[in-house]
Amino acid sequence: MISSIIYLSAADLARYETAQALARDSLAEIAQYIQPGATEASLMEDCRRIMDARGATGYWWYGVPAVILAGPRLRVSEEGDVYQAATIPIGPDDMVTIDVAPEIDGIWGDAARSFFLKDGQIVSPEDAGPAQAEGMAAEAALHAHLLATARPEMTFQQLHAAMAERLAGLGFANLDFLGNFGHNIGDDLHGRAYMDAHCSVRLDSVPMFTFEPHIAKAGSPLAFKYEEVYRFADGRLRLL
C-alpha cells in the first residue's frame, strides 16, 4: 500500500477550485447549443470557444477540449488520443454526454454531464423518460455512496470495489474501457492513479480525484455520465 499524504496550500486549492468552476460553468453554458442538427464535432468547437472565453489556457486530455457522445455512440469508451468527434446530426429525442477537460496554467478541471432532448428541447431526465430518469438516479446514488464510503486511508482499489458493488446492485454496468471509475487530478497525464481494481495508492496520497461513472443497463442504447472532483477535508470527502 502506497501512502504519502498530500496537502495543498490555500493558494493552490483556490487555483483548482477556479479550474473546476470553469469546467462546471462551461457545461451549463453549452446546453443552449445542444439541439437537433448539431453534431459531436460542432459541440466540441462550441465547448472550446466557451472554455477559451472563460479563461482556459489549454486542454490536458491529449489536447481534446471535450469528449461528446451522442445517439448511437453513447456507450463508446476510448482514450483521448484516438477519440474522434462524429459528424452525425443529433436527433430531436437524442441523449448527449459531454466530458470537458480544461486547464488554466497547468491546473486541471474535469467534469461531465448528461443532457436529454425531447421534441428538440433540452428537458430534465424525468421529462425525457423513465429509463433516462433511472440512469441519472443511479448516478446520484453512486455519488452519494462515494461520499458516504470513502475514507482517507482507503486505497483506490478498495474504493473501486465498493463502488462496483453498489453499481451492480443498481443493475448497471461500468462502460469504461479500462474498468475504472476515476483518477487523481494532477499534472501528469500518463502518471495518473486510477480508481480501478488494481491501484494500491491511498486516497489521501493525492490532492484530489475524480469520480466519473460511465454506466448503462444491459441491452439499453442509453449510457450516462456525471463527473465531479472530490477532496478530503477534516477527514471527510467533499466536493471540490
**pLDDT at site 2:** 43
**pLDDT at site 186:** 82
Give the C-alpha separation, 33 to 41, whole Å: 12
Cell 496554467 locates to: 105
Three-point CA angle 195, 201, 153, nearest 5°: 100
In this structure, are residues 88 and 71 in contact, taking their beta carbons and an 8 Å threshold?
yes
**pLDDT at site 72:** 96
**pLDDT at site 168:** 99
Q: Count CA atoms closer than 13 A to 217's CA, side-chain side.
A: 15
> What pTM did the predictor assign?
0.95
**Which residues are registered as beta bridge partners of 67?**
99
Q: Domains in the chain, ordered, with CATH?
A: 10-239 (3.90.230.10)
Least Cα distance to 211 among 180, 171, 178 occurs for: 180
For residue 97, what is its C-alpha cell?
A: 454526454
| Per-residue confidence in pLDDT tens, the chain, 240 aa | 444 456 789 999 999 999 999 999 999 999 999 999 999 999 999 999 999 999 999 999 999 999 999 999 999 999 878 999 999 999 999 999 999 999 999 999 999 999 999 999 999 999 999 999 999 999 999 999 999 999 999 999 999 999 999 999 999 999 999 999 999 998 777 778 999 999 999 999 999 999 999 999 999 999 999 999 999 999 999 999
Give the C-alpha separation, 112 to 168, whole Å: 21
DSSP annotation string for 136-195: HHHHHHHHHHHHHH--TT-BHHHHHHHHHHHHHHTT-EE--TT--S-BB-SS-GGGPPBS
For residue 41, what is its C-alpha cell?
A: 464535432
Instruction: Sheet with 236-239: list strands edge to edge.
Output: 209-211, 228-233, 236-239
Give the C-alpha separation, 221 to 214, whole Å: 13
In this structure, are residues 208 and 187 in contact, taking their beta carbons and an 8 Å threshold?
no
**pLDDT at site 8:** 83
In this structure, are residues 230 and 111 in contact, taking their beta carbons and an 8 Å threshold?
no
**pLDDT at site 3:** 44
**pLDDT at site 200:** 97
